[in-house]
Protein backbone atom coordinates (compact mmCIF):
# COMPACT_ATOMS: atom_id res chain seq x y z
CA UNK A 1 0.00 0.00 0.00
CA UNK A 2 2.85 2.41 0.69
CA UNK A 3 4.16 2.02 -2.86
CA UNK A 4 0.70 2.83 -4.22
CA UNK A 5 0.15 6.03 -2.24
CA UNK A 6 2.90 8.61 -2.31
CA UNK A 7 3.00 10.19 1.15
CA UNK A 8 6.43 11.75 0.82
CA UNK A 9 6.85 15.49 1.04
CA UNK A 10 8.83 17.76 -1.24
CA UNK A 11 10.38 19.80 1.54
CA UNK A 12 11.77 19.13 5.01
CA UNK A 13 8.96 20.93 6.82
CA UNK A 14 6.29 18.83 5.04
CA UNK A 15 4.50 21.79 3.44
CA UNK A 16 3.82 20.07 0.10
CA UNK A 17 2.43 16.59 0.48
CA UNK A 18 0.39 14.34 -1.71
CA UNK A 19 -1.99 13.44 1.13
CA UNK A 20 -2.74 9.96 -0.11
CA UNK A 21 -3.36 10.80 -3.79
CA UNK A 22 -2.45 7.76 -5.87
CA UNK A 23 0.87 8.15 -7.65
CA UNK A 24 -0.17 5.59 -10.28
CA UNK A 25 -3.53 5.32 -12.01
CA UNK A 26 -5.71 2.49 -10.84
CA UNK A 27 -6.18 -0.43 -13.19
CA UNK A 28 -9.63 -1.10 -11.75
CA UNK A 29 -12.50 1.38 -11.65
CA UNK A 30 -13.19 2.91 -8.31
CA UNK A 31 -16.33 2.04 -6.41
CA UNK A 32 -16.90 5.77 -5.96
CA UNK A 33 -17.52 6.37 -9.70
CA UNK A 34 -21.17 5.28 -9.47
CA UNK A 35 -22.15 7.92 -6.87
CA UNK A 36 -20.23 10.52 -8.90
CA UNK A 37 -22.12 9.58 -12.06
CA UNK A 38 -25.42 9.70 -10.17
CA UNK A 39 -24.63 13.13 -8.78
CA UNK A 40 -23.60 14.64 -12.13
CA UNK A 41 -26.23 13.27 -14.51
CA UNK A 42 -29.87 14.17 -14.93
CA UNK A 43 -32.49 11.76 -13.60
CA UNK A 44 -33.90 11.09 -17.08
CA UNK A 45 -30.43 10.06 -18.24
CA UNK A 46 -30.00 7.75 -15.27
CA UNK A 47 -33.42 6.18 -15.89
CA UNK A 48 -32.50 5.41 -19.48
CA UNK A 49 -29.43 3.46 -18.40
CA UNK A 50 -29.88 -0.12 -17.27
CA UNK A 51 -27.65 -2.50 -15.34
CA UNK A 52 -25.19 -4.26 -17.57
CA UNK A 53 -25.25 -1.52 -20.21
CA UNK A 54 -21.91 0.03 -21.06
CA UNK A 55 -21.08 3.69 -20.56
CA UNK A 56 -21.08 4.11 -24.32
CA UNK A 57 -24.84 3.46 -24.56
CA UNK A 58 -26.01 6.70 -22.90
CA UNK A 59 -23.60 8.66 -25.09
CA UNK A 60 -25.02 6.99 -28.17
CA UNK A 61 -28.52 7.87 -26.97
CA UNK A 62 -27.56 11.50 -26.36
CA UNK A 63 -25.87 11.74 -29.74
CA UNK A 64 -28.99 10.34 -31.42
CA UNK A 65 -31.17 12.92 -29.64
CA UNK A 66 -28.94 15.77 -30.78
CA UNK A 67 -28.75 14.44 -34.33
CA UNK A 68 -32.54 14.15 -34.47
CA UNK A 69 -32.87 17.69 -33.18
CA UNK A 70 -30.25 18.86 -35.67
CA UNK A 71 -32.47 18.03 -38.64
CA UNK A 72 -35.47 19.77 -37.08
CA UNK A 73 -33.41 22.83 -36.16
CA UNK A 74 -32.01 22.96 -39.70
CA UNK A 75 -35.53 22.87 -41.16
CA UNK A 76 -36.76 25.73 -38.97
CA UNK A 77 -33.60 27.78 -39.52
CA UNK A 78 -33.79 27.30 -43.29
CA UNK A 79 -37.38 28.62 -43.22
CA UNK A 80 -36.22 31.63 -41.19
CA UNK A 81 -33.26 32.12 -43.54
CA UNK A 82 -35.45 32.23 -46.65
CA UNK A 83 -38.06 34.47 -45.03
CA UNK A 84 -35.69 37.01 -43.45
CA UNK A 85 -35.92 40.61 -44.72
CA UNK A 86 -33.74 43.63 -44.04
CA UNK A 87 -36.45 45.86 -42.62
CA UNK A 88 -34.86 48.68 -40.59
CA UNK A 89 -31.50 46.92 -40.21
CA UNK A 90 -28.34 48.46 -41.59
CA UNK A 91 -26.51 46.62 -44.38
CA UNK A 92 -23.84 45.44 -41.93
CA UNK A 93 -26.39 44.07 -39.46
CA UNK A 94 -28.53 42.50 -42.19
CA UNK A 95 -25.68 40.77 -44.02
CA UNK A 96 -24.07 39.66 -40.74
CA UNK A 97 -27.31 38.04 -39.62
CA UNK A 98 -27.73 36.32 -43.00
CA UNK A 99 -24.13 35.06 -42.92
CA UNK A 100 -24.57 33.82 -39.34
CA UNK A 101 -27.71 31.88 -40.31
CA UNK A 102 -25.90 30.38 -43.33
CA UNK A 103 -22.95 29.34 -41.15
CA UNK A 104 -25.26 27.83 -38.54
CA UNK A 105 -27.07 25.87 -41.26
CA UNK A 106 -23.68 24.58 -42.40
CA UNK A 107 -22.91 23.48 -38.84
CA UNK A 108 -26.21 21.61 -38.81
CA UNK A 109 -25.28 19.75 -42.00
CA UNK A 110 -27.45 21.82 -44.36
CA UNK A 111 -24.78 23.79 -46.21
CA UNK A 112 -25.65 27.05 -47.97
CA UNK A 113 -23.63 27.86 -51.08
CA UNK A 114 -22.34 31.38 -51.62
CA UNK A 115 -24.58 31.89 -54.64
CA UNK A 116 -27.68 30.91 -52.62
CA UNK A 117 -26.63 33.30 -49.86
CA UNK A 118 -26.25 36.15 -52.38
CA UNK A 119 -29.66 35.38 -53.91
CA UNK A 120 -31.26 35.40 -50.49
CA UNK A 121 -29.59 38.69 -49.47
CA UNK A 122 -30.80 40.33 -52.69
CA UNK A 123 -34.31 38.92 -52.21
CA UNK A 124 -34.65 40.38 -48.72
CA UNK A 125 -33.25 43.85 -49.40
CA UNK A 126 -35.18 46.85 -48.19
CA UNK A 127 -37.02 49.01 -50.75
CA UNK A 128 -34.42 51.79 -50.50
CA UNK A 129 -31.71 49.44 -51.84
CA UNK A 130 -33.76 47.49 -54.41
CA UNK A 131 -32.46 49.73 -57.20
CA UNK A 132 -28.99 48.23 -56.67
CA UNK A 133 -30.06 44.68 -57.60
CA UNK A 134 -29.82 45.13 -61.42
CA UNK A 135 -26.40 46.77 -61.06
CA UNK A 136 -25.10 43.87 -59.01
CA UNK A 137 -26.47 41.12 -61.24
CA UNK A 138 -25.94 42.49 -64.75
CA UNK A 139 -22.38 41.20 -65.14
CA UNK A 140 -20.66 38.35 -63.44
CA UNK A 141 -22.63 37.20 -60.40
CA UNK A 142 -21.04 38.71 -57.26
CA UNK A 143 -19.66 36.86 -54.29
CA UNK A 144 -21.10 37.54 -50.86
CA UNK A 145 -18.11 39.73 -49.91
CA UNK A 146 -18.43 41.87 -53.06
CA UNK A 147 -22.20 42.18 -52.59
CA UNK A 148 -21.78 43.26 -48.97
CA UNK A 149 -19.14 45.83 -49.92
CA UNK A 150 -21.27 47.26 -52.74
CA UNK A 151 -24.39 47.48 -50.57
CA UNK A 152 -22.46 49.15 -47.76
CA UNK A 153 -21.10 51.80 -50.15
CA UNK A 154 -24.58 52.31 -51.61
CA UNK A 155 -26.08 52.73 -48.14
CA UNK A 156 -23.42 55.32 -47.28
CA UNK A 157 -24.05 57.14 -50.57
CA UNK A 158 -27.79 57.26 -49.89
CA UNK A 159 -27.14 58.62 -46.39
CA UNK A 160 -24.87 61.35 -47.79
CA UNK A 161 -27.40 62.19 -50.49
CA UNK A 162 -30.18 62.49 -47.90
CA UNK A 163 -28.06 64.92 -45.85
CA UNK A 164 -27.33 67.01 -48.96
CA UNK A 165 -31.03 67.03 -49.89
CA UNK A 166 -31.99 68.17 -46.39
CA UNK A 167 -29.34 70.90 -46.43
CA UNK A 168 -30.51 72.03 -49.90
CA UNK A 169 -34.11 72.14 -48.71
CA UNK A 170 -33.20 74.27 -45.68
CA UNK A 171 -31.06 76.55 -47.82
CA UNK A 172 -33.83 77.11 -50.39
CA UNK A 173 -36.40 77.72 -47.63
CA UNK A 174 -34.04 80.23 -46.04
CA UNK A 175 -33.67 82.04 -49.37
CA UNK A 176 -37.44 82.02 -49.82
CA UNK A 177 -38.05 83.50 -46.36
CA UNK A 178 -35.31 86.08 -46.87
CA UNK A 179 -36.85 87.27 -50.15
CA UNK A 180 -40.31 87.48 -48.57
CA UNK A 181 -39.02 89.50 -45.65
CA UNK A 182 -37.39 92.01 -48.02
CA UNK A 183 -40.64 92.34 -49.91
CA UNK A 184 -39.46 90.89 -53.19
Rg of the chain, C-alpha, whole Å: 33
pTM of this prediction? 0.56
pLDDT at 175: 61
pLDDT at 122: 95
Mean pLDDT of 130-145: 90
CA distance 79 to 14: 66
pLDDT at 119: 95
Cβ atoms < 10 Å from Cβ of 9: 13
Cβ contacts of 99 within 8 Å, gap of 6 or more: 117, 144
Least confident residue range of 12-16, 88-92, 126-130: 12-16
pLDDT at 77: 95
Top mean pLDDT of 26-30, 67-71, 153-157, 169-173 is at 153-157
Between residues 121 and 58, the one the model is more confident about: 121
Mean model confidence pLDDT for the chain = 76
Number of residues that this document lists for the chain: 184
Q: What is the pLDDT of residues 111-132, one digit of tens each?
A: 999 999 999 999 999 999 999 8
CA distance 172 to 177: 9
Amino acid sequence: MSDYFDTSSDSDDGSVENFGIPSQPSLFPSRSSKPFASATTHTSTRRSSRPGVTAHSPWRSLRAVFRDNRDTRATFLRDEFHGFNQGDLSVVDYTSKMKHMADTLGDLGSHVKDRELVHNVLRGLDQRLQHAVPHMTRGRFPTFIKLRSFLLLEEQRLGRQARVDVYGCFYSCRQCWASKSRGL
